């Protein structure tokens, strides 16, 4: 199916690995010109290099960074059609999961909201004028099933993602008449660096459960989270849905939330 994306311009945050890398690769394959934002590049991102890819090294914890990325997209590629707010999860230097409400302090809460909500607010604020100048666009915000299924684990993260979901609905209501569609993806556990890196979620849960990291990813986590598919989500599976939401093929889809979560959310 032709997604009708060729020649469009996208900004993808958190683009150097995991979901962001898969999204960047997928959009490039569809003929999109992509501005990839991340604190640093990776060999995998560099391997995608070409005339249609621009990497902008930024720390999205910097309030000026989201606007700078959008400005580079407009300056280098002439405008902006797609914004994928993928960067999120543990702020730089933080490992999740964290257990219990009393564990994160004020600084932890501020950092979590800065990375998972305020950086999105700033990116959208910068992107909307550029999209309106092109007659519309698509914004995809990567959220979490934890926003709808709160638990005494990662309380600050889940609260930030719940705020992101609310923001998405409000943006959709205001800007859909002007041609800007805004949607969310509610993810379950995805096989990314958050889980797989040393000291990441798999290691933390392994220490709690008295097992090893591979067992956590292959069986313990799927069982603990009651994943219907019995496995973690793959980044490409998320990227495919994002590409469809970015496409004019989804012209009547806005204010919607898509669960790409291996069956994590059971509620109707």
CB atoms within 10 A of CB 222: 21
CA 74 to centroid of chain Cα atoms? 21
Length of the chain: 268
Using the CB atoms, write b or e for 110-145: b if 16+ within 10 Å: ebbbbbbbbbbbbbbebbbebbeebebbbbbbbbbb
**Is the Cβ–Cβ distance between 194 and 89 less than 8 Å?**
yes
Both tokens of 33, joined, read: 């010109």
Q: What 3-state class would DSSP assign to 16?
A: coil
Radius of gyration of the chain (CA): 18
Q: Is 176 a catalytic residue?
A: no
Token duo for residue 211 = 């097992």
DSSP calls for 35-83: EEEESS--HHHHTT-STTEEEEE--TTSTTHHHHHHHHHHHHHS---EE
Q: Which two tokens stand for residue 219?
A: 């069986």
What is each CA distance from 231 to 146, 183, 217, 234, 251, in whole angstroms?
A: 17, 25, 8, 9, 32
Which of 77, 157, 194, 195 is labelled catalytic?
A: 157
Residues labelled catalytic: 157
């Amino acid at each position: 199916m032709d997604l009708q994306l060729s020649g469009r311009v996208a900004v993808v945050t958190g683009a150097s690995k995991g979901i962001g890398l898969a999204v960047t690769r997928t959009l490039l394959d569809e003929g999109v010109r992509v501005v990839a934002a991340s604190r640093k590049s990776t060999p995998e991102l560099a391997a995608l290099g070409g005339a249609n890819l621009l990497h902008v090294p930024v720390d999205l914890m910097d309030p000026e960074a989201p606007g700078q990325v959008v400005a580079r997209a407009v300056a280098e590629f002439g405008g902006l059609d797609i914004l994928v707010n993928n960067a999120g999860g543990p702020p730089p230097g933080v490992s999740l999961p964290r257990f219990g409400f009393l564990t994160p302090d004020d600084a932890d809460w501020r950092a979590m909201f800065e990375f998972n909500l305020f950086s999105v607010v700033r990116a959208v604020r910068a992107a909307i004028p550029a999209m309106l100048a092109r007659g519309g666009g698509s914004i995809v915000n990567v959220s979490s099933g934890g926003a709808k299924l709160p638990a005494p684990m990662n309380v600050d993260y889940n609260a930030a993602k719940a705020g992101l979901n609310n923001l998405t609905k409000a943006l959709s209501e205001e800007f859909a008449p002007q041609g800007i569609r805004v949607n969310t993806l509610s993810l379950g556990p995805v096989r990314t660096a958050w889980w797989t890196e040393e000291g990441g979620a798999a290691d933390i849960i392994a220490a709690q459960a008295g097992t090893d990291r591979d067992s956590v990813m292959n069986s313990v986590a799927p069982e603990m989270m009651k994943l219907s598919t019995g496995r973690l989500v793959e980044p490409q599976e998320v990227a495919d849905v994002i590409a469809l939401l970015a496409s004019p093929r989804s012209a009547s889809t806005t204010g919607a939330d898509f669960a790409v979560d291996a069956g994590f959310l059971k509620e109707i």
